[in-house]
Amino acid sequence: ILVFHLLPGGNYQRKIFALDLLLVIMNSFFCFKSGEGSNKKSGNGDPSDFVKYANNDGKMIIFHQQVFELLTLNLEDHMTDVKEKCYKMLSSSSPSMSACEELLGKMNQCISSPKENICETGSFIAKLLAKWGPNGLICEQLLQQLEETMSKCAKDFLVSSQHSPMFGVLIALRSCLLTSDSSEWRTFTQNQIGQLIGDLEVISDLMLSFLCGEKNELINPDFQDIAQAINDIIGDNEEDIPIPEEHQLVLSAAWHNLKECSLLAGSLLSSLDLEIKPDENSSDSISLADTVRCCELLKKITTRCRHKGVIEASNIASGLLASSLLKSDIAEFRDLPEKILQDLFQQLESSWSKSSY
C-alpha cells in the first residue's frame, strides 16, 4: 500500500507520508541500531529473525527491484524533500552492476541539464553511486568532467549553456565531497583541493567576463552592461525586443556557475579543518594559502556581480567562511574576515556608485 503511493503523478502529501512510514519501517527493522532513533527505548532486541520470518512468508519485502525502480524514479520529482527521502531509502540498497551503470548514465544526463532542479537529481544520484562504489571515486570523475566542461564553455558558451552549462557538475561535486553523509566526504588530497580551487578561479573569471564584457575588473557593471555583454555572446544586436531564449540560457548558466563557485568556496572552508600548511596527503584540512584564495574568489564574485541569486549565494558562503575563520585558534585565519571587510570598505569609499552593496 505504501509503495503504491510512490507511483508517478501521485498526491504529494500521500507520497511524503508513505516515504516517512517506509523510512520508519526501514530504520526499525532493516537498518536496526540499538539505542538510536525510533529504537532508542526499544527493549525487543535485533529484529533480523523477525524480518527473515516475514520475508519467507512474502511480507515486508522492501529491497525489491520494483521498489528500487520506483524510488529511483522519484529522484526526478520536482520536490526536494521527496528526493531526500528517496535518497535515504536507496542508500541502504545494494543494486546490481548494470543498475549502477544505468544510473551513472542518468547522472551524467542530469548534471548536464540547464535546469537546476534536474541537476539536483544528478547530485543525489552521484552520492548514491559514491556509496555503492562500483564506478571508482565519483568525486575524481566529477573533477575531471568539470575541467572538460570548463574547456567547452571557454570555446563556445552559447552551445554549452544549452547542453552542458557546468553548474550541475559543481552541485554534484559539492554534494559528494563536502556533505557529511556522503561516502566520499573529505577525500581530496591537498593537490586536488588546490586543483579544485584553481578551477573555481578560472570558472568565476570566465563567467564574470561573459557578464561584464571588457569592463575594468574594479567596476561592477549594471544590468544594461550585462545585457550587452550577453548579446555579444549570442550575436544579437537588436534592441527593444523580448529577451530571446538564448539570452536567458546564457544569463542563467553564468549566474548559476557563479552561485555554485561561491557556495563551493564557502563549503570548503566550513567543512575542512584550518591548518597553516597541512601534510600533502591530508584530506581533512585546507591550507592558509588555499583559504586566502577562497576568500579572494568570494570577494571578487560579490563585488563584481549584482545578480540577486549570486548575491544571496555569496551571503550564505560568506557566513560559512566567517564562522569557520573566526572560531579558529590560529591568528592568521582569524584575522582574515577583518582584512576582507577593510578591503571592501576601501572599495566602497573609492567607487561606491559602481558597487553592488
Q: Residue 1: is its pLDDT beyond 70?
A: yes
Higher pLDDT residue, 39 or 155?
155
Q: What is the pLDDT of residue 234?
A: 62
- Kindly state the average pLDDT of the residues 58-69: 82
CB 179 within 8 A of CB 264: no
Three cell numbers written together for 183: 561516502
SS3 of 108, please? helix
Q: What is the pLDDT of residue 134?
A: 54
Q: What is the pLDDT of residues 283-323, one digit of tens each?
A: 999 999 999 999 999 999 988 888 889 999 999 999 999 99
Q: Which long-range contacts (CB under 8 A, 24 or more apart) does 53-61 make?
A: 60/25, 60/29
pTM: 0.86
Least confident of 32-46, 84-98, 319-333: 32-46
Q: What is the pLDDT of residue 74?
A: 94
Q: Residue 230: is its pLDDT beyond 80?
A: no
Q: What is the pLDDT of residue 339?
A: 93
Q: Is 310 buried (19+), middle (13-18) or exposed (0-12) by CB count in 10 A?
A: buried
- Kindly state the average pLDDT of the residues 61-68: 83
Q: Residue 338: is its pLDDT beyond 90?
A: yes
- Kindly state the average pLDDT of the residues 162-173: 94
Q: What is the pLDDT of residue 315?
A: 94
Q: Residue 242: is its pLDDT beyond 50?
A: no
- Kindly state the average pLDDT of the residues 119-129: 96
Q: What is the pLDDT of residue 239?
A: 52
CB 310 within 8 A of CB 301: yes
Q: What is the pLDDT of residue 90?
A: 93
The owner of cell 570577494 is 299
Model confidence band, residue 42 (pLDDT cutoffs 50, 70, 90): low
CB 278 within 8 A of CB 287: yes
- Kindly state the average pLDDT of the residues 91-118: 92
Model confidence band, residue 348 (pLDDT cutoffs 50, 70, 90): confident
Q: What is the pLDDT of residue 217?
A: 58
Model confidence band, residue 176 (pLDDT cutoffs 50, 70, 90): very high
Query: Mean pLDDT of all residues in the chain?
Result: 86
Least confident of 3-7, 68-72, 142-146: 3-7
Question: From CA 262, how far away is CA 203, in angstroms rounded?
Answer: 11
